[in-house]
Amino acid sequence: MDKVYIGIDVSKESLEVFIPGRKTAPFFNTETDIARLLKTLHDLGNAHVVCEATGGYERPLARALWQAAIPVSIVNPRQTHDYARSLGILAKTDRIDAQCLSRYGHANEPSPTAQPSAAERDLAELLDWRTHLLDTKSRLRNRLEHLENPQLRGQAEALLNWLGAQIEELGKQISAKVGADEAMKAKAERMKQVPGVSELTAAGLLAHLPELGALNRREAAALAGLAPLNNDSGKMKGKRFIRGGRHKVRKLLYMAAMVHSRFDPVAKARCKALRDRGKPWKVVITALMRHLLILLNHMLKNPNFALNPIP
């Protein structure tokens, strides 16, 4: 039986479902209606759901689909929007979006999104909240420079101290979460053998790139958005660039690559060679980030691989 790709446009309150060749009743984004939707999908026999990442509103649906063993692909909205434009579809409604998601599935046959473990979900939420508090602290510190009212300055300083304490506590919770899971703990310890990879960097990679260690070098670079893309036309050879991928992974790798290039002899030599060839810093740091990611992936895939000792 051929696979049937079901497009579902997810919003906070509703699920717009498109099943090729069938009319569907409206569904709300509630536990009751999701259960009703699952029965409809089970009756199809070979359903594969395609929906977009919506910042969290898709999670209850995805969890229910995983538990029901119905494959679901959570795709990047940019890709599906570009696909719709390629078909000449410029109008936008929930119904049209759901239909485009179904057509996108039939045309591209996306791989099912793997279900994260409970530990991975908790770890990702802790890391995201820590990042949010760090951003808030940075904005407040910048605002403090321009506050002249002594009372307001006192409030701002007290709030900065509170944020610092919360961030420190989150760091402890993240360490405890990784340490409580034997598989994550082993991977984190392995990654921390690389100069520049801190405990938080390792935790971030475990949460935001759980596939690491099960990929080839090209897949790893592509998932992180570190695979250079050509920009050529005819005789014109344009500059290569990176695009897409998981931006949270790139942010983690940026600072790690900076430290790695100082203390790892192979990375230091690679950095010097690129600089000697006149490459701009953006090109150099991107190459170092890709080198670091591929190294970590290779280490996790090959437990017997040993790093060169640092002189």
**Dist. CA 180–CA 174, nearest whole Å:** 10
Does residue 188 form part of some domain? no
Element (H, E) at 123: helix 118-144
- List of residues 6+ apart from 37 with CB closer than 8 A: 15, 17, 27, 61
Assess whether 219 and 270 both reside in one domain. Answer: yes
Q: What is the pLDDT at residue 157?
A: 96
Residue type, 132: H
Q: Which residues pair with 14 in a beta bridge?
A: 28
Beta-sheet strand order (sheet of 4-10): 27-28, 14-18, 4-10, 47-52, 72-75
User: Which residues span the domain enclosing 174?
Assistant: 118-180
CATH number, domain of 172, equals 1.20.58
Give residue 223's identity as a one-letter amino acid code.
Answer: L
**Residues 56 and 131 occupy one common structural domain:** no
CA–CA separation, 125 and 298 (whole Å): 27
Structure tokens at 85: 């434009």
**Boundary of a domain, candidates 108, 136, 169:** 108
Overall average pLDDT of the 47-51 stretch: 94
Q: pLDDT (tens digit, 9 = 90+) per residue, 233-275?
A: 566 565 655 566 788 999 999 999 999 999 888 888 988 999 9
Q: What confidence tens digit (pLDDT) does each residue in 156-194 have?
A: 999 999 999 999 999 999 999 999 999 999 999 999 999
**Tokens coding 236:** 């014109």
Q: Residues 1-42: pLDDT tens digits?
A: 578 999 999 999 999 999 998 888 789 999 999 999 999 998
The DSSP code sequence of 159-206 is HHHHHHHHHHHHHHHHHHHHHHSHHHHHHHHHHTTSTT--HHHHHHHH
Tokens of 78: 């940019």
H-helix segments, 181-278: 182-191, 199-208, 217-223, 247-263, 265-276
Of 214, 191, 226, 237, the closest CA to residue 301 belongs to 214
Q: Which residues pair with 122 in a beta bridge?
A: none
Does some domain include residue 190?
no
End-to-end CA distance of the chain: 60
Last residue of a domain, one of 108, 140, 169: 108
Same domain for 203 and 294: yes
| Rounded-to-integer distance, Cα 249 and Cα 73, Å | 20
Number of domains in the chain: 3
Mark whether 90 and 141 lie in a shared domain. no
